[in-house]
């Protein structure tokens, strides 16, 4: 019997996606890519918060090197991993990466595509691709600079630096570092804070945030116009005013 490359746990407002190849440090192979595409399709159809976590004390040790070694020009041009990670970044609701142990190569690039990253003291994040004769072509070459700044990004991408959890936290690549037994709970606490917001306001804020610079301020105004017409906006503001009145 073939083991599922990811395990999915669903609830009303969130989905946990557990990378499930611990015997190879959750290396991202084509089956896992396909399974994550299926998960993305479900999250696009029914927008919910997503939490991505590894198994066996590792987030994802990278792409599956045995498969990667056999890939050729056509495979690179098809964007196997880059297309998936771009889709993860575009998901309607926020995505939280929970990093225990290694997040290297493609595993790091998956984490970079998420909106939030939490980790444990054993988290190690980096992109060793040039040491294997390739480059980090699934988003690190441009996302990482936006996340940590150009000097540190170049150390990671060009000199093989692997960040410890404390270094990643200092660089704001990790928002929080917690003990392994609290990692999932920390992810759910963050998800709870997101879920307490108006869902459509969160969705549109994420879309506006990632819009190209030239789309602003028009896209901001259009998104706000949509929200101004919602019943939830009216109800939440009415509740705010009533609570303020009662507090006087």
Q: How far apart are the first and last CA of the chain?
A: 65
Phi and psi angles of residue 63, each rounded to the nearest 5 degrees, phi first: -70, 160
User: Catalytic pick from 109, 176, 232, 246?
Assistant: 109
Give the 3-state secondary structure of residue 189. helix
Q: In the chain, where does DSSP find H-type helix?
A: 30-45, 65-70, 73-77, 80-90, 106-113, 140-148, 150-159, 165-170, 183-195, 199-209, 218-228, 231-247
List b or e across 211-229, with b for residues whose CB sees 16 or more CB atoms inside 10 angstroms.
eeeeeeeeeeeebeeeeee
How far is residue 186's CA from residue 199's CA, in Å, rounded to a whole number? 20
Q: Is 150 a catalytic residue?
A: no
Q: Exposed, middle or buried: residue 205 (CB in 10 Å: 0-12, 13-18, 19+)?
A: middle
User: Catalytic pick from 70, 74, 129, 179?
Assistant: 129
Q: Is 109 a catalytic residue?
A: yes
Going by their DSSP bridges, the two strands 116-119 and 162-164 should be labelled as: unpaired
Residue numbers annotated as active site: 109, 129
């Amino acid at each position: 019997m073939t083991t599922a490359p990811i395990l999915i746990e669903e609830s009303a407002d969130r989905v946990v996606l557990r990378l499930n190849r611990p015997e190879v440090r959750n290396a991202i192979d084509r089956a896992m890519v396909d399974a994550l595409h299926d998960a993305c399709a479900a999250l696009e159809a029914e927008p919910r918060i997503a939490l991505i976590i590894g198994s066996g004390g590792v987030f994802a040790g990278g792409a599956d090197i045995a498969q990667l070694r056999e890939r050729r020009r056509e495979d690179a041009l098809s964007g196997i991993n880059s297309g998936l990670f771009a889709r993860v970044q575009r998901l309607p609701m926020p995505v939280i990466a929970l990093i225990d142990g290694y997040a290297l190569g493609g595993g790091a690039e998956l984490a970079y595509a998420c909106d939030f990253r939490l980790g444990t003291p054993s988290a190690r994040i980096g992109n060793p691709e040039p040491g294997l004769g390739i480059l980090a072509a699934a988003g690190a070459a441009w996302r990482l600079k936006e996340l940590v700044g150009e000097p540190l990004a170049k150390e990671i991408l060009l000199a093989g630096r692997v960040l410890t959890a404390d270094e990643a936290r200092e660089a704001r690549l990790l928002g929080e570092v917690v003990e392994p037994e609290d990692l999932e709970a920390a992810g759910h606490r963050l998800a709870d804070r997101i879920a307490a917001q108006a869902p459509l306001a969160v969705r549109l804020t994420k879309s506006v945030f990632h819009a190209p610079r030239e789309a602003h301020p028009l896209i901001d105004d259009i998104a706000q116009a949509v929200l101004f017409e919602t019943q939830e906006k009216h109800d939440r503001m009415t509740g705010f005013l009533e609570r303020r009145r009662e507090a006087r």
